[in-house]
Amino acid sequence: MKCYVCGGEMKRTKKDIEANWKGRQVVFRGMEPWVCQSCGEEVYEPDDVRLMQTLMRGTMSVEAYPEIMNVEEVADLLRVSTQTVYNLARSGKLPAVKVGREWRFNREKVLEVLNRHTSQEETPVCEGRAGGGASRRPYG
Ligand SMILES: [Zn+2]
């Protein structure tokens, strides 16, 4: 890979990346950007950029989330995996609108669900026959 600034040789280098996000300092450890051996220019893989953006979004307050959120943002907000968000959306437990192949969530609605869940003591998420993990055994 050649540096787009000076044409020098670029090497993948492990390093900590410091970023500033709304006045907060965020450090990503063990990132592996391409670093130019002659001018020091750094280039990140698109995946790395996306990861950093996602993580930095997580440091934002709820109000900073967009009004209409995608699966990644909801997963981030609720601190669950995207798969869980898909499951909740599909089962109707989370109010969602399907736009084409993508799910979209209204921030307020998601927060309502979140508040409802946290104000109750425990909401059984899977009332399924599948696991049966909660079944009481006759012998203590
Ligand atoms: Zn360079």
Rounded distance from Cα 87 to ligand 1 centre (Å): 46
The owner of tokens 């990132």 is 31
CATH assignment of the domain containing 11: 3.10.20.860
With vertex at residue 106, the alpha carbon angle to CA 96 and CA 100, rounded to the nearest 5 degrees, is 45
The pair of structure tokens assigned to 135 is 């079944």
Closest CA to 31 of 47, 14, 55: 14
Question: What is the CA(4)–ligand 1 centre distance, in A?
Answer: 7
Is this model's pTM higher than 0.85 or not?
no
The percent of residues in the chain predicted with pLDDT above 90, rounded, is: 36
On whether the CB atoms of residues 94 and 112 are closer than 8 A, the answer is: no
More confident residue, 86 or 60: 86
* pLDDT, position 118: 57
Range of the domain at 74: 62-122
How many angstroms does the Cα of residue 117 sit away from the middle of ligand 1? 52
The answer as to whether 138 is a domain residue is no
Strands 42-43 and 24-31: unpaired
Distance from the CA of 18 to the center of ligand 1, in angstroms? 20
Q: What's the CA-to-centroid distance between 46 and ligand 1, angstroms?
A: 19
CA of 38 to the centre of ligand 1 (A): 5
Q: How far away, in angstroms, is 42 Cα from ligand 1 center?
A: 8
* pLDDT interval class at 26 (50, 70, 90): confident
Looking at the fold, whether 101 and 51 belong to one and the same domain comes out as: no
Residues 66 and 37 in one domain: no
Q: Are residues 49 and 101 in the same domain?
A: no
Tell me if 106 is assigned to some domain: yes
Residue 25 has pLDDT above 70, yes or no: yes
Question: Which of 98-102, 109-113, 116-120 tops mean pLDDT?
Answer: 98-102
How high is the pLDDT of residue 131? Answer: 47
